[in-house]
Chain A
């Protein structure tokens, strides 16, 4: 299983904070995104947003990054702290 977290504006758009995905068929962050959209077609617009950032196990990564079983994946808008 893979745990997927969403934050800030994206969390509100999807009305979802956290979801679990079967690892089957997942090799990269892009696959995670595609599987999320396949399971929830109405998430497509929000998840296709090119400015979204991605993290795997608390490290910022690109969408080609390899995902392993039991990883924690996160999608979120550009950060605005400070």
Chain B
């Protein structure tokens, strides 16, 4: 399940949903990404997240489908916030359940790595030097490439 939203989310509510009436999966792995107060040596006070409606959902569905082909996983939830966010705010959530931990860990990391390079989101930071669109990092491309 995918949700692109401006509002915040609750980690405990999301874990509850992943676990509710789910007696088959012994493993629940979650990742939450938050806004840092620093990036590339500059102080950051917040960021604005833009996305491509329609393509975003489609690309995330594709990533989840690929994860399901590679690992035996149960429930999957991806939340990505858009709009104006402040330092400390939650940005992204990935939750995966599976019978055993290995598949849940791997699938959650895979989904996050691919989201970073395939899903059409863009961050504009408000830094101490003004506003700045983030440049994509080679390290993110390399990390996603490691899965192929």
Contacts and interface: CB of A to CB of B under 8 A. Distances in A.
Interface of B: 33, 49-52, 54-55, 58-59, 80, 91-92, 112, 115-124, 133-136, 140
A55 B122 contact: no
A82 B33 contact: yes
A9 interface: yes
Contacts, number: 72
Contacts of A82: 33, 80, 91-92, 112, 115-116, 119, 121, 140
Interface of A: 5, 7-9, 12, 51, 55, 58-60, 74, 76-82
Contact of A5 (B52, B112, B117, B122): B52
Given A8-B122, A9-B133, A79 B50 contact: no
5 contacts: A7-B52, A58-B59, A78-B135, A79-B119, A80-B123
